[in-house]
Structure 1
Amino acid sequence: MKNKLLYFLLTLSLSGFSACKSSQSSSTVAQANSEVRQVLEEQAACWSRGDLACYMQGYWQSDSLLFIGSRGLTYGWQQTLDNYKRSYPDVSAMGKLNFDLKEFRQLSPETMLVVGKWHLQREAAKGDLEGHFSVIFRKFPEGWKIIADHSS
């Protein structure tokens, strides 16, 4: 009987520890989601002002950045910026960017997958554009950055 009581108390204390650990983890995940959401909100604001340099601050500034779009694969931060400049040469072509964030999945403590929809509201002559995206963020000492972007 004594052993059963000891086992019960040990099990109870371990499950309490596990519950604390889970709530800490969900708190950490919520914090990561909030930080990643903030990066995307800042990007949308930068884009809508016509400021591509500001928009690109949300991306990992590396030759290993991967962007997948309608034209295929692009490697590198600078090449991605150059492609944006070619595709959106002025503020009217850029329009106002909105993200509809559908899903956040923490892949590890340092990586996050975000899936959503993007919408560019533009002048009637240019026409609106929209599509879906999935981006992978990685946490760096300076904050969360997109390391891979697949937009269609």
Structure 2
Amino acid sequence: MKKIILLMGFICINFMTIDAQDKDKEEIKNLLETQRQAWNNNDLELFMEGYWKSEDLKFYGKGGVIHGWDNTLARYKKAYPTKEHFGTLEFVLNDISMITKGAYYVLGEFHLKRSIGNADGIFMLVLKKIKGEWKIIADTSS
């Protein structure tokens, strides 16, 4: 009887963990969809709300590592100065995996359709739940 109770408890804990991970992944997907829509509406400020507003934010791209939210925003403004540069963004999410409780990584692709020339690439994001919200704390895009 004791073994059955322990087994049932173990099964319940596993289901609760799976449900929590499913919820986390859905919230992360929603964050990225909000970013995609903001990008497609040329709303860089809303797009940037998905990032951790901290000097500890890291963005790693062709130009090297950029530190901080303000510097990341400035980088986006410089690289995408007009509506034609923004184009239409689509994401392909290839993997969302938990690193530890409250932290995940996302592997994906971006596809930017633009009149000035399309841009495609890959990314890896690290997200952390901060004050009850998922935020990108590190972004590697190329």
**Which TM-score band (shorter chain)?**
over 0.9
The aligned counterpart of 2:41 is 49
Tell me the TM-score normalised to structure 1 length.
0.92
- Cα distance in 2 between the residues matched to 1:121 and 1:143: 30
What percentage of residue pairs aligned between the two structures are identical?
A: 33
- Distance (whole Å) between structure 1 residues aligned to residue 106 and residue 27 of structure 2: 12
Partner of 1:29 in structure 2?
Answer: 21
CA-CA distance at 1:142 after TM superposition:
4.3
Is the aligned partner of 1:148 residue 2:125?
A: no
CA distance in 1, matches of 2:42, 2:132: 24
Unaligned runs of at least 5 residues, structure 2:
none
Equivalence for 1:113: 105
Question: Following the alignment from structure 1 to structure 2, what is the Cα–Cα distance between the partners of residues 17 and 91?
Answer: 55
Find the partner of 1:19 among 7, 11, 14. 11
Q: Distance in 2 between matches of 1:142 and 1:29?
A: 15
Deviations, residues 31-62 of structure 1 (Å, cap 9, x unaligned): 00000000000000000111111100000000
With over 3 angstroms needed to count, the CA separation of the structure-2 counterparts of 1:84 and 1:36, relative to structure 1, is same
State the 1:11 CA deviation. Answer: 1.6
**Shift in Å, 1:113:** 0.5
Whether 2:117 is the aligned partner of 1:127: answer yes
Provide the secondary structure at the position in 1 that maps to 2:96: strand
TM-score normalised by the chain length of structure 2? 0.98
Q: Quick one: distance in 1 between partners of 2:29 and 2:93?
A: 8
Q: What whole-Å deviation, never above 9, does each CA across 1:65-91 have from its counterpart, x for those lacking one?
A: 000001110000000000000000011
For structure 1, list consecutive stretches of 5 or more residues without a partner in the other structure.
Answer: 1-8
> Which letter maps to 1:98?
E
Match for residue 62 of structure 2? 70
**Amino acid of the structure 2 residue aligned with 1:24:** M
- Equivalent residue for 1:138? 128
Distance 2:131 2:26 in 1: 17
Q: Aligned partners of 1:100, 1:92: CA distance in 2, in Å? A: 22
Larger Rg: 1
**1:40 corresponding residue in structure 2:** 32
Count of paired positions: 142
In the aligned structure 2, how far is the partner of 1:11 from the partner of 1:131?
51
Structure 1 CA distance for aligned equivalents of residues 59 and 52 of structure 2 = 11
